[in-house]
A and B are shown apart, each in its own frame.
Chain A
Amino acid sequence: ILNVEQSPQSLHVQEGDSTNFTCSFPSSNFYALHWYRWETAKSPEALFVMTLNGDEKKKGRISATLNTKEGYSYLYIKGSQPEDSATYLCAHMNYGGSQGNLIFGKGTKLSVKP
């Protein structure tokens, strides 16, 4: 994998459903993996920054895992609510190239119906 890939591209769920998305990234020279939530008409908001293989982070009903050896991260939302509707972006940072710069995926757009 050369770029950051996110799947699915979009997702429609009912209120109360639990859901998860995938972010795949190059595993070589890995430094960090970021997750952001981007609600319509607002600015992207950071959810997690993960650096260690096996990392698991949680913020309320949202959690994320990281596998740096195989190059993927999962974002889970438990009991989705309408206010969770947003585009979820992941971004990868590595040691190579321009240090400190993020490479973003295209995002997963989540719609939660009440």
Chain B
Amino acid sequence: DGGITQSPKYLFRKEGQNVTLSCEQNLNHDAMYWYRQDPGQGLRLIYYSQIVNDFQKGDIAEGYSVSREKKESFPLTVTSAQKNPTAFYLCASNLGGLSNQPQHFGDGTRLSIL
């Protein structure tokens, strides 16, 4: 079935450690997005990529990094510079640009600090 797969479902990070969240899609979508959700807040955009080998910072990119080497994959690294990484992370994809198509979401990764 076509969809977006995020892994792992739960992730624990030690102080000073970088961790990478995986996002893979087989929908042949050009655009991919990473969001963060905190209690009582809406989804906030971390990074997005409209095409392979290109990505842009969203509203809260500090302390995060991404890569887009393949169309299907958009991994997110939470670096040690992100001082408050505990949150729920959602990956999404769609056709990109000013499209009337909705975004398709993964099931999310919950990141906690040990």
**A interface residues, Cβ below 8 angstroms from B:** 4, 31-32, 34, 36, 42-46, 49, 51, 89, 91, 93, 95, 98-102, 104-107
Contacts and interface: CB of A to CB of B under 8 A. Distances in A.
B41 interface: yes
A58 B10 CA distance: 36
A36 B42 contact: no
Contacts of B108: 43
B90 A100 contact: no
Nearest to A50: B100
Contacts of B69: none
28 contacts: A4-B42, A32-B98, A34-B102, A43-B106, A43-B107, A43-B108, A44-B105, A46-B102, A46-B103, A46-B104, A49-B100, A49-B101, A49-B102, A89-B42, A91-B43, A95-B98, A98-B56, A99-B97, A99-B98, A100-B31, A100-B48, A101-B48, A102-B45, A102-B103, A104-B35, A104-B43, A106-B42, A107-B42
Interface residues of B, number: 28
B84 interface: no
Interface of B: 4, 31, 33, 35, 40-45, 48, 50, 56, 58, 90, 96-108
A105 B90 contact: no
A93 B98 contact: yes
